[in-house]
Structures are given as C-alpha cells and as structure tokens.
Amino acid sequence: MDKSAGDLRRSVSRIVVPSDFSDTADLALERGCELALQHAARIVLVHALNFQPTPIGGPNPVILPPDFGGQLRTATQTKLEALAERVRSRGIEVDVELTTGVPGASIVEISDRSDADLIVIGTRGLSGFKHLVLGSTAEQVVRRASCPVLTIHPDHRGPLGDLQTVIVPTELSEDPAPAVDEVLHFFGQPPRSARILLVYSDHLPAYLQPLVEDLRIDRVGFEEISGLLRERLEPTARRLEAVGFEVETVIREGDPASVITELASARGADLIAMETRGRSGLAHLLLGSTAERVVQHAGCPVLTVRRSPAAAEQAQDGRG
C-alpha cells in the first residue's frame, strides 16, 4: 500500500520505533508513544542484531565464547522486553521484533511487513568522513521506507506538543500539499497561531560550478524564479490558510539543505516536513539527498514523506 499520499481518512494503527538502546533511541520511543496515545495506535518495537566480531588476528582481537551469539540474542531480547513493558505501562499495545541483519534494511522490511503507518527513529547527526564510511541508519530508512518517517535529533528534548512553526520545502515542479497533509494527519488540526513556511531554495551543484561556461549552462534569474514560485504556490497557500495555518513564502538562493536547516534554527521550527525522492546510485553519489542531509543536521524533528509514483508522473506532465 502506498502511504505517501495525504489520505486524511486513513487511521494510524501501527508505529514502528527502532531501538539500539541509546539515549536518542529512547527519545524517539517517547515521541512514538506520544503519537501512539494520540491515535490509539500500536507500537512495533524493533532491534536488528548486526554484530560483526573482530577476527583474532585483527588490531583489537576479541575472543568470544562459542555460544556468544545465543547469549547476545537473549540479552537483547531481555532489554527489548523491558522497553516494551515501559510502553505497555502507559496503556499502549506493543509488538517486539528482534531480527538479524543490516539495521536500515531490516527496519524497512519490518515496517513494510507490518503495514506501518509511520516510523519514528532517532538520529545522531553524524557527518564528515565517519559518516561517509559508516552511513546512518536513519538516513537509510528515510531513503528506502515506503511510509512516512519521523526522525528525532538528540538535541530535541521537548515533547512534540502543538506545532507552532512548520517548515515545508518545495520545488517549482512539485505541490507541497502531500507533506502538509501528512502533518495534519499525524499531528491534528493546527493551533490558531500555527505558521507554515513554504521554502524554496536553489543553487547550481558544486560539481557543475566550474563547468558553467564549458557546458553553456544558462541560469534563470532568481527574481524570475521568485515571481514564478509565488504564483504557483498561491493556490496551496490559500488552501493552507483555509485550514487554519498562517502561511509565509521564503525564497532564498543557496544549498537547499543548508537553507532549510539554518532557517529552522533561526525561526525555532517545531518540525520540518518534506518529500523525498530516494535517489540511488550515481545520482545519490553526486547530488546526495536533500532530505537525508536535512535529517543529518536539523535540530528539530523531520517528517519525510516518500513521493508517490503518481505524483512524480503528474510533475513530469506539468513540466511537459
């Protein structure tokens, strides 16, 4: 089932919350419990065992007992059940899933199998060389999950509460309404003073900048883009205002992920809600994913919604 479209009529019945027993995972579980109580939903608590022992001849050899794998699984199951009991004590139904494999892929597989409505996952916001080599489970989930994903940064300690400021990035060819629909779906109707910042930002990718003249790339004037964007976003802005949001359009030149995260910090945003295309292969290597980079660095929760094939086709037709 495609759950990326903003169908406000569907119920929220299952929320997947992965845990590696870290402080950040505990924060994500707390946020997941808030939403589960709000929607009378069930929590699916997930842990993926991905232990890779150091060979005896390695730089830091570890000699393990023959039954270590069984001991590890038993200890992990015990910790998961303890977490589950904490959740049940709040009146929330819980399923426990202990699996073996790469965490990101395992979480996505379980969420698909469980027909999850949402994944709530913590992120440590790793960056630099370590991030490049090891990757991030949260970003893998954002890239691959078919249902919406709510990522929780370790710096975000407060409850979700009433959303006052929501940042919704947009592109000229795309309608941001699906991401806003998911905000309303999971968090309810906006409070009277809630504001949505519709954000557009753009710049030439760094790897193309030295080749502008060689490739004869014409850059459209930013003032022209601004006028076109405001015109195209007007129907969406009116619709959001009718729901109860105040709407502000913000247009800035610069790297989209940097603009989004800096604006979220400057405005004290409660949430960033955005679609993700889930690039892979060469496109992901060269361009990265704005959504994944926002998840890395945003200090507030980020709700990512996979763009449906139908929406992508409609956008292509619109550019036609």
Q: Tell me the per-residue pLDDT of 110-126, one tens digit each, with 9 for 90 and over.
A: 999 999 999 999 987 44
Mean pLDDT over residues 56-84, rounded? 78
Domains of the chain: 11-57+71-160 (3.40.50.620), 161-320 (3.40.50.620)
User: Which alpha helices (H) appear in the chain, and where do they start and end?
Assistant: 23-39, 68-88, 103-113, 128-134, 137-144, 177-187, 212-215, 222-243, 256-267, 281-287, 290-297, 309-319
Q: Say how far apart CA 200 and CA 236 lie, in whole Å.
A: 14
Q: Say how far apart CA 11 and CA 7 lie, in whole Å.
A: 9
In this predicted structure, what is the pLDDT of residue 238?
87
pLDDT at 282 over 70: no
Mean pLDDT over residues 304-310, rounded? 71
Residue type, 24: T
By C-alpha distance, which of 132, 148, 72, 113 is closest to 305?
148
By C-alpha distance, which of 100, 94, 24, 49 is closest to 299?
24
Q: Say how far apart CA 82 and CA 19 lie, in whole Å.
A: 12
What phi and psi, each to the nearest 5 degrees, are found at residue 104?
Answer: -60, -50
In this predicted structure, what is the pLDDT of residue 315?
42
pLDDT at 8 over 70: no
In this predicted structure, what is the pLDDT of residue 110?
97
Q: Tell me the per-residue pLDDT of 204-217, one tens digit each, with 9 for 90 and over.
A: 555 555 545 555 55
pLDDT, the chain, mean: 79
